Amino acid sequence: MSNARQPRSYTLRVWRQPSSTTEGKLVEYAVSDIDPDSSFLEMLDHLNENLVKKNEEPIAFDSDCREGICGTCGVCIDGRPHGPIPHVTTCALRMRDFADRSTIVVEPFRAKSFPVVKDLVVDRSAFDRIIEAGGYVSVNAGSAPEANMIPIGKDIAESAMDSAVCIGCGACVASCPNASASLFVGAKMRQMVLLPQGAVERKHRALAMVERMDREGFGDCSNHGECEAACPKAISIENIATLRREYMKAIFR
């Protein structure tokens, strides 16, 4: 750890694509003077400042909260959504986890249902449309009963929370060989069926969300399990089992 604090340099190969309708390619950039404690996105900020100063166009990438909760950021780093460290988002990666003088390939999340907008920015609005189909409890403001009216076991609530932590980043889709959204959809379904408030609409929800998922062009799940490995919130593949069970029940009931 003696030179752990020394500034580092890297060769980046970054996907540049001016718009959704133009072709893209990998472009090489050298970055130096990187503080190992800085984050991966701060490293990209640093590169962008230098590009602007050279009158070149900065690399477009999405990010917002930069603390792993909003789900806005997300790129493939050396082929892995959110990079080499398990269970963190791209914004939480630190440069101390990348060896000095290494080459890093940075690409957008790739999936048919996530078209590239520009450079590393993709359009994930298909996720919103899946939730639109039924990923909620139909309750109007003002009509709710007293909050403690229905007790919910602590273990049930905790288990629902394990699914509810999904940040909608899309890493599960980007990592899946079929570009399936099953983990994303399964997590919302499982949160809802575990809770008595959500269980009421389970049949409609299962049919509507699965139908919308198919219509948006996401592939089927074939049990590769890459999604669970790529998920920054460590959402379990068990959620996909819930999805299947709910869907089968809805069809045959």
Partner 1 sequence: MASMPQTIPNGDGLHSGAPGGPIETRWDRHRFEMKLVNPANKRKYTVIVVGTGLAGGAAAATLGELGYNVLNFCIQDSPRRAHSVAAQGGINAAKNYPNDGDSVWRLFYDTVKGGDFRARESNVYRLAQLSVNIIDQCVAQGVPFAREYGGLLATRSFGGTQVSRTFYARGQTGQQLLLGAYGSLMRQLETGRVKMFARREMLDLVVVDGHAKGIICRNLVTGELERHAADAVVLATGGYSTAYFLSTNAVNSNATAVWRCHKRGAYFANPCFMQIHPTCIPLQGSAQSKLTLMSESLRNDGRIWVPAKKGDPRPPDQIPEAERDYFLERRYPSFGNLVPRDVASRAAKHACDEGYGVGTGQAVYLDFADAIQRLGQNVIAERYGNLFDMYREITDEDPYKLPMRIYPAPHYTMGGLWVDYNLQSTIPGLHVLGEANFSDHGANRLGASALMQGLADGYFVIPYTLGNYLAGTRPGTVRSDAPEFGEAEQKVRGVIDHLLGCRGKKTPREFHWELGRLLWDECGMSRSPEGLTQTIDKIRALRAEFWENVHVAGSGQELNQHLEYAGRVADYFELGELIAIDAQQRNESCGCHLRVDHQTPEGEPIRDDENYAYVAAWEHTGDVSKPRLHREKLEFENVHLTVRTYK
Q: Which of residues 90-149 bind partner 1 (CB under 8 A)?
A: 92, 94, 96, 117-118, 121, 123-125, 127-128, 131-133, 135-148
- Contact pick of 105, 152, 207, 250 for partner 1 (by CB under 8 A): 152
Q: Which stretch binds partner 1 (CB under 8 A): 154-162, 175-183, 216-224, 237-245?
A: 154-162
Minimal distance, residue 164 CB to partner 1, in Å: 5
Q: Which is nearer to partner 1, 58 or 225 (CB)?
A: 58
Minimal distance, residue 222 CB to partner 1, in Å: 27
Q: Which is nearer to partner 1, 62 or 107 (CB)?
A: 62
Report the alpha-carbon distance of residue 222 to residue 141 in Å, rounded.
40
Q: What does the chain come to in residues?
A: 253
Report the alpha-carbon distance of residue 155 to residue 158 in Å, rounded.
5
Q: Which stretch binds partner 1 (CB under 8 A): 75-83, 100-108, 174-182, 192-200?
A: 192-200
Q: Which is nearer to partner 1, 20 or 222 (CB)?
A: 20
Minimal distance, residue 39 CB to partner 1, in Å: 8
Q: Which is nearer to partner 1, 9 or 222 (CB)?
A: 9
Q: Give the x-and-dash track for 50-69 against partner 1 (CB under 8 A).
A: -xxx-xxxx-x-xxxxxxxx
Which residues from 231-250 bind partner 1, rule CB under 8 A? none
Q: Can residue 195 be called a binding residue for partner 1 (CB under 8 A)? A: yes
Look up residue 74 and give its two tokens. 């997300």
- Contact pick of 90, 180, 191, 242 for partner 1 (by CB under 8 A): 191
Q: Give the x-and-dash track for 21-50 against partner 1 (CB under 8 A).
A: -------------xx-xx---xx-xx-xx-
